[in-house]
Amino acid sequence: MHPPEILVLTSMIQPAERAALDAIFTTHGPLGSAALDALLAARGDRILGIATSGRELLDSALLAKLPALRIVACFSAGIDRIDTAALAARGIALTNTSAVLAEEVADLAMALAVMARRRLVAADAHVRSGAWASGQGFAFGRSLQGARMGLLGFGHIGAAIARRAAAAGLALRYCTRTQRPGLDLPFHATPLALAQDSDILVVATTGGAANRNLVDEATLRALGPHGTLVNIARGEVVEEAALLAALADGGLGSAGLDVFLNEPKVDPRFAALPNVVLAPHIASATVETRSAMGAHVVQSLRAALLAA
């Protein structure tokens, strides 16, 4: 009996976990567009599973070429580039790694908040440049103690951030599409209302067209000249032009960003701003968590395609 065939659309799965996939399944990919088209024409009806990530497009046109598909295992929390409606219509299972990576992403969210408010990038430059040794003073940052943190989104990642923030002495509030029963935190129905009641706004919601510019100019400026934005979600969720303007003119105090609108081609104006911390979409990027994410993909495919 031949092993089940799967299509691997992502190169993000680490070598040990990719080797595990290769040992269990007949794997195809990642492939360029021409090679992928050729594979689907020849063997599309034999592909039972897909390993992908939040960066690859998996649309209805591609899914239509896979009539035997039973499961999509996503190596990320974000599934906004996957046509979930098409999967649901065909009864195809979808898994992601949101629970696996939540703690790691929450760590970076808190780090970005601390770095932005305490001006740690500028502080590092102050020391390296010799300015401290020459007697130049360094401007004070803003405290986290007692600050109000608004969480835009309260899934696995939002909940993990909330645990850390509460332990650090921040006062929490949140905004989701519907109020969470049993969650004893102040609730706001809109991002604007949340920002008006927050010193730090952490974007931890899903991306995609439905949430494009969810954090708009009014929401950014509601945080005010001492406020901080942290984005570990998706770049399109924040109105980037408005963010750049608010950071430049003082309408927003600071920001810590792990995601951008056109990443990896980040708008060069960010690099010139002293009040922003920039990271290259690394919230889940540790050896341990990326390994655990890959193991989750392997286990998801194994359970769906090799279960007795």
**Cα separation, 166 vs 124, whole angstroms:** 27
The single residue listed with the structure tokens 């906004």 is 80
Q: Name the β-bridge partners of 74.
A: 52
The tokens for 107 are 């760590």
User: DSSP labels for 182-246?
Assistant: T--S-B-SSHHHHHHT-SEEEE-S--SGGGTTSB-HHHHHHH-TT-EEEE-S-GGGB-HHHHHHH
- Note whether 207 and 234 are within 8 A (CB): yes
Q: What DSSP state is assigned to residue 4? A: P
Spatial CB neighbours of 47, under 8 Å, sequence gap ≥ 6: 5, 6, 7, 28, 40, 66, 68, 69
- Note whether 249 and 271 are within 8 A (CB): no
Catalytic center residues = 234, 263, 281
- Report helix angle 120-128 to 98-118, nearest 10: 60
- Note whether 118 and 147 are within 8 A (CB): no
